[in-house]
Amino acid sequence: MKTAAAEQGVSLFLISAFRSLQYQHDLIAGKLRKGRSLEQILAVNAAPGFSEHHSGCAVDLGTTDCDALVEEFENTEAFQWLEENSGSFGFVMSYPRDNPHGLVYEPWHWCYQPSSI
């Protein structure tokens, strides 16, 4: 998918993919230590065992003209390209605005679901 985007002059790269249970645990524990409430944390990070990143099918994507993992990603050429082309590669956006999981909008988080093709 990255190559197909590049052929059309769109920069797209992988920020993060598979995460283990331990990693997800440490990520949340680290934020708790910094004084964030569990409620705040779970609005942006799934609890260990519930992250799509455990499945190995989820990817966080980035592009050169935007900071990593920010909502402004939706205004990039890369996001436009994903909206138009990701479906033919079997990728769907997991957490669109007002998603039923109660997680914040993540325009950078896509999941490989071949059955969606």
Nearer to Zn ion, 86 or 109 (CB): 109
Rule CB under 5 A: is residue 19 a binding residue for Zn ion? no
Reported as type and span, the H/E element at residue 110 is strand 109-112
Binding span for Zn ion by CB under 5 A among 19-27, 39-47, 82-90, 107-115: 107-115
**What is the distance, to the nearest Å, from the Cα of residue 111 to the centroid of all Cα atoms in its chain?**
8
Q: How far apart are CA 20 and CA 103, in angstroms?
A: 20
Rule CB under 5 A: is residue 109 a binding residue for Zn ion? yes
Alpha-helical runs (H) found in the chain: 2-7, 21-33, 38-44, 77-85
Q: Min. distance of Cβ 9 from Zn ion in angstroms?
A: 25
Which residue's CB atom is positioned nearest to Zn ion? 109
Provide the binding-site residues for Zn ion, judged by CB under 5 A.
60, 109
